Amino acid sequence: MDNLSLETNTDRRQLRTLDRPKKLKILVVDDEPDNLDLLYRTFRRDFQVLKADSGMNALQMLAAEGEVAVIISDQRMPEMKGTEFLSKTVPQFPDTVRIILTGFTDIEDLVEAINAGQVYKYITKPWDPGELKAVVQRAAETYDLLKQRTEELRCANAQMALLTVLVEVTQAANSLEEILKPIATAFSQSFGSDACILQLIENNNLIATQGSYSEGGSVENWLAQDPLTSEAIATGNIQVSLNILKDPKLSSVAHYQNYGVQAHLIIPINYRNKVMGVLSLQWKQPHTLRDDELKLINLSAQLVAIALTSSFYHQTQI
């Protein structure tokens, strides 16, 4: 099997489009409308800027919008000081980088906040746009680096978890069928899919033997009618469409519409040039997969082939 093969140029274009870096979100918080507008105009070209005029409104915005890369907050605001507001964001958004703008000397509060890891840096008013831009750019780079390292650690943990599951189920299972559902579960949880199906193949045809996992508890199996599945079996290569609605070959396919699947990755399980089965990962929203994630999935699929072969051999010897 090739190290990695995607289905078409269309799919490659979709993959590049979804992997293209989007503008990072930043949140600016200031109770003075003129300052808030100036902060917005300073950063709107480089970032997706959210605005709030108080700490309470900012917390509500974060609850609705989710994590942002950087928060820039004024210190002196009514009802809630900037340091108090930022401290409330730490438990839910530990990776967010926080910057305080202060127009007065309140060293005790600022030093305490910095030492507690709640504030990355403070800037005194009147702030210089060039200086603030440079600080925010470094903060965004810090956020990106932290996210990258977190993702690398997640991938390493996912690979270890998959390997552990494959070893355990292969050794413990009494039949080939018993290992399919645990493997499907491990793949789905490791790669954050909404559903996963692992189905066996004989003579290049899908057979009834399968294992599946879904957060909702049940999975509808339409792989026998799926164009990506047919191509995966015929070529022995991974097939992927990460945005079904924008894929002219798949957007009108009934089962994608009926079951709300918007991204699909189908991996043939190959052993010595023979397709033993297919592994289907499905998402309800358009999905992003980096090259290293695809390579990890490909490697893991090869481990599944070894596990299936080992289980099949064990079963024939009983």
Does any domain span residue 10?
A: no
**Does residue 142 share a domain with residue 186?**
no
Residue written as tokens 């780079």?
A: 141
Assess whether pLDDT exceeds 60 at residue 14.
Answer: no
CATH number for the domain harbouring residue 79: 3.40.50.2300
Looking at 112, 147, 182, which one is the last position of a domain?
A: 147
pLDDT band at 18 (very low <50, low <70, confident <90, very high): very low
In a domain, 289, yes or no: yes
Q: Are residues 94 and 50 in the same domain?
A: yes
179 and 263 part of one domain: yes
On whether residue 268 sits in a domain, the answer given is yes
pTM above 0.75, yes or no: no
Lowest average pLDDT, out of 18-22, 34-38, 64-68, 220-224, goes to: 18-22
Domain match, 139 and 183 both? no
Clarify whether residues 226 and 311 are in a common domain.
yes
What is the pLDDT, as a whole number, of residue 6?
Answer: 39
Q: Is residue 15 part of a domain?
A: no
Half-sphere exposure of 140 (CA within 13 A, CB side): 19
Determine the pLDDT at residue 19.
44
CB within 8 A of 211, min separation 6: which ones? 177, 179, 180, 181, 182, 183, 184, 197, 198, 199
| 62 and 126 co-located in one domain | yes
Residue keyed to tokens 């009147």: 126
pLDDT at position 16 over 50: no
Highest mean pLDDT (candidates 42-56, 103-117, 146-160, 209-223): 42-56
**Whether 128 and 216 share a structural domain:** no
Question: Computed from CA positions of residues 260, 264, 270, 274, in that sequence, does the dihedral angle turn out positive or negative?
Answer: positive
Secondary structure (3-state) at 75: coil
177 plus 137 within the same structural domain: no
Tell whether 259 is covered by a domain. yes
Instruction: Say yes or no: 302 and 207 in one domain.
Output: yes
What's the CATH number where 299 sits? 3.30.450.340
Asked whether residue 49 is domain-assigned, the answer is yes
Average pLDDT over residues 150-179: 75
Determine the Cα–Cα distance for residues 113 and 4; give it in Å rounded to an integer: 48
Q: What are phi and psi of 135, to 5 degrees?
A: -65, -45
Shortest CA distance to 285 belongs to which of 189, 195, 183?
Answer: 195
Average pLDDT over residues 215-232: 91
In this structure, are residues 282 and 194 in contact, taking their beta carbons and an 8 Å threshold? yes
pLDDT-derived band at 106 (thresholds 50, 70, 90) equals: low
Q: Within this chain, do residues 211 and 309 fall inside the same structural domain, yes or no?
A: yes
Q: Is 137 in the same domain as 232?
A: no
Do 183 and 313 share a structural domain? Answer: yes
Cα separation, 80 vs 85, in Å, equals 6
145: CB partners within 8 A, 6+ apart:
none
Does a structural domain hold residue 178?
yes
* 46-55, 70-79, 143-152, 305-314: least confident range: 305-314
Residue 88, pLDDT score:
92
Number of domains in the chain: 2
Could you list the residue range(s) of the whole structural domain that residue 179 is in?
A: 173-317
Question: Is 155 among the domain residues?
Answer: no
